[in-house]
Structure formats: C-alpha cells, structure tokens
C-alpha cells in the first residue's frame, strides 16, 4: 500500500513538472476517485450480487448451507452475513460488503453439489476470512488508487495530444528526467493494475491461512480448490469487474504466458501446496 501511494504521488509530481497546471490536477483526480469510491463503498456489494444473479436465502430455504455458515461464524466470532445462492454449475463462491456487520456470502449451486461437507466448510471459512480480515475494504482503497492513476494518465495524454499546458524547453527541463516521467505516466495504468492484482493475490493466501485456523482442517480447503480447478467451463455471468471477489477465477480459461502477472488469483496449485504445509 505504501508503494502504491508513493507511485500515485510520483505520477502526480511528473505531471505537475511537465505541465503548467500545478498540483491542482492531482487534487482533482483524487477528489473524483473518492466520490466514485464512496458510491462503491456503500453500493458495491449490491451491484456485485446483482451482476452474478445471486438470490438471498433464509435458513428454511437451505438449512445445510445456512447452518454451516452460522456454525463457522460462531467459531470466528462474526455476525452471520446474508447468504446468497447463484444458480450456476461452475463451482465458486465470494464474499462482499464493507465490514462484518454489512457482509454477504454467495455460493454457486455447483460448489454446493460438488463438494463434500469438510470441503464446503473450508470454502465458506475462506470467504468469512475475507470478511473478518476486512479485505473488501482494503480492495476498495486499492481501487481508488488505481482510479487516481488512470485519471491522471488519461488527463496527461489528452493534454499531450492537444499540446496544452506543456512547458517551454527554455525553462531548463532535464530531457532524461522528462523521458523517464513520460514512460512512467504512459505505463502507469498497467503498473497500477499489476500492483492491484498483487495485493489481491496476497489476500487470497491470507484468507486460505485464516480459513485453516478457523476449521483446523487445511486439507478440506485444499481438496476443495483441487475440485474447483478441475471444472473448465466459465461461470455463466463471469465478469472482469467482480472476478477478484471469487475464491477462484470465474473464467476457468486457458492459461497464457502473462496469466501469472495479470490474474486476480494466485495459481491454485500454489495455494494447495501452501495449505498442505499447514497440515
């Protein structure tokens, strides 16, 4: 997070040096991103659930799943979140919400049908760990920083394209300094995305470890992840905007050379390996 904030400041500094608009442009970008974050903070969970077609259930609708969530919440000392079911054969699950008091957990029909009791318990514990560790709130902050960088980069490129606000070469700008700044700004959206994905992947490892402590049975989650990875069909409503929320990528697509860097999740085989070292 410190590196991310420092990166935002560096991008803003280079733009301020290259243009005549000063640091007001950085303040403007932050203000716009904060407004966007405020909206997503209070309504993002509803959007995510609606996007996936999740339907809320009560205890009588699915006692098996609901009681499992209740029991794990007692173990973790968490309030029981709203429970949703997604009618989709692909095995997956996600949690959303701004804090434990305003949280929801969603499971696909595929994951409920495919997993054994201990495996499903491991998956639910993983999602509850995201809630307990405030991962959703952290990712909101990260998304704000990505938004700031994207806005700054877009504004700079538009100014450069139309030739507005550029300093005269007579003002003594160091050419090497400007070249480095230009490269940084042009590549900043890609760099910001990589940092965002790195943060997301680290939180997946943390949630796996926290789930193992919650259930005292790491093999349950490890076995669940292996079964999830065997499914090759993407979710019916897979979406890039919500992909990072799921326990595994909802796309289940073919891996490519850069997938390790641009994936929202660490490789399942690595997660399984880590879990089995905890047994």
CB atoms within 10 A of CB 258: 8
More confident residue, 35 or 124: 124
3-class DSSP assignment, residue 95:
strand
Please give the average per-residue pLDDT across 196-206, as a whole number: 85
DSSP-assigned states of every residue in 30-56: HHHHHHHHHHHHHHHHHHHHHHHT-EE
Please give the average per-residue pLDDT across 199-225, as a whole number: 94
**C-alpha separations of 97 from 45, 134, 163 in Å:** 5, 9, 44
User: pLDDT band for position 218 (50/70/90)?
Assistant: very high
User: pLDDT band for position 174 (50/70/90)?
Assistant: low
pLDDT value of position 170: 44
Q: How far is Cα 76 from Cα 213, in angstroms, rounded to an integer? A: 9
More confident residue, 254 or 107: 107
Q: How far is Cα 107 from Cα 122, in angstroms, rounded to an integer? A: 13
pLDDT in tens, 30-66: 777 777 777 777 887 888 899 899 999 999 999 999 9
More confident residue, 42 or 271: 271
pLDDT value of position 217: 96
Q: What's the Rg (C-alpha) of the chain? A: 22
Residue 110 pLDDT > 90, yes or no? yes
More confident residue, 114 or 27: 114
Please give the average per-residue pLDDT across 6-14, as a whole number: 76
- Residue 54: φ, ψ to 5°: -75, 140
Residue 181 pLDDT > 90, yes or no? no
Residue 215 pLDDT > 90, yes or no? yes
pLDDT in tens, 219-254: 999 999 999 999 988 999 877 778 888 999 888 754
Average pLDDT, the chain: 83
pLDDT value of position 164: 53
Q: How far is Cα 139 from Cα 55, in angstroms, rounded to an integer? A: 24
CB 75 within 8 A of CB 97: no
3-class DSSP assignment, residue 240:
coil
Q: How far is Cα 274 from Cα 218, in angstroms, rounded to an integer? A: 9
Looking at the chain, how many residues does it have? 279
Q: How far is Cα 215 from Cα 244, in angstroms, rounded to an integer? A: 23
DSSP state at residue 105? E
Residue % of the chain over a pLDDT of 90: 45
Stated as kind and residue range, the H or E segment containing 2 is helix 2-18
pLDDT in tens, 71-94: 999 999 999 999 999 999 999 999
3-state percent breakdown (helix, strand, coil) of the chain, nearest 5: 65, 10, 25
Please give the average per-residue pLDDT across 181-206, as a whole number: 79
User: pLDDT band for position 173 (50/70/90)?
Assistant: low
3-class DSSP assignment, residue 103:
strand
Q: How far is Cα 123 from Cα 224, in angstroms, rounded to an integer? A: 7
Q: How far is Cα 197 from Cα 214, in angstroms, rounded to an integer? A: 26
Best CA proximity match to 152, nearest among 1, 2, 27: 27
pLDDT value of position 6: 76
Residues annotated as catalytic (active site), given as ranges: 127
More confident residue, 6 or 234: 234
């Amino acid at each position: 997070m410190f590196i991310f904030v420092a990166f935002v400041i560096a991008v803003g500094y280079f733009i301020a040096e290259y243009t005549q608009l000063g640091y007001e442009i950085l303040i403007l970008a932050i203000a716009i991103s904060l407004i966007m974050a405020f909206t997503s903070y209070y309504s993002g969970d509803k959007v995510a659930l609606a996007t996936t077609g999740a339907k809320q259930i009560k205890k009588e609708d699915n006692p098996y799943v609901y009681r499992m969530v209740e029991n794990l919440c007692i173990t973790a000392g968490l309030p029981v979140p709203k429970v949703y079911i997604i009618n989709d054969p692909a095995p997956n699950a996600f949690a959303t919400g701004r804090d434990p008091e305003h949280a929801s957990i969603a499971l696909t029909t595929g994951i409920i049908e495919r997993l054994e009791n201990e495996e499903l318990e491991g998956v639910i514990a993983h999602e509850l760990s995201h809630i307990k560790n405030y991962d959703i709130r952290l990712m909101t902050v990260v998304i704000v920083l990505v938004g700031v960088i994207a806005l700054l980069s877009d504004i700079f490129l538009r100014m450069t394209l139309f030739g507005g606000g550029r300093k005269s070469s007579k003002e003594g700008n160091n050419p090497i300094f400007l070249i480095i700044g230009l490269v940084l700004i042009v590549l900043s959206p890609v760099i910001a995305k990589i940092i965002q994905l790195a943060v997301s992947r680290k939180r997946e490892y943390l949630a796996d470890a926290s789930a193992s402590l919650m259930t005292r049975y790491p093999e349950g989650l490890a076995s669940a992840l292996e079964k999830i990875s065997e499914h090759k069909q993407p979710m019916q409503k897979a979406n890039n905007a919500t992909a990072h929320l799921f326990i595994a990528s909802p796309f289940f697509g073919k891996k490519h050379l850069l997938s390790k860097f641009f994936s929202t999740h660490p490789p399942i085989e690595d997660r399984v390996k880590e879990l089995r070292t905890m047994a």
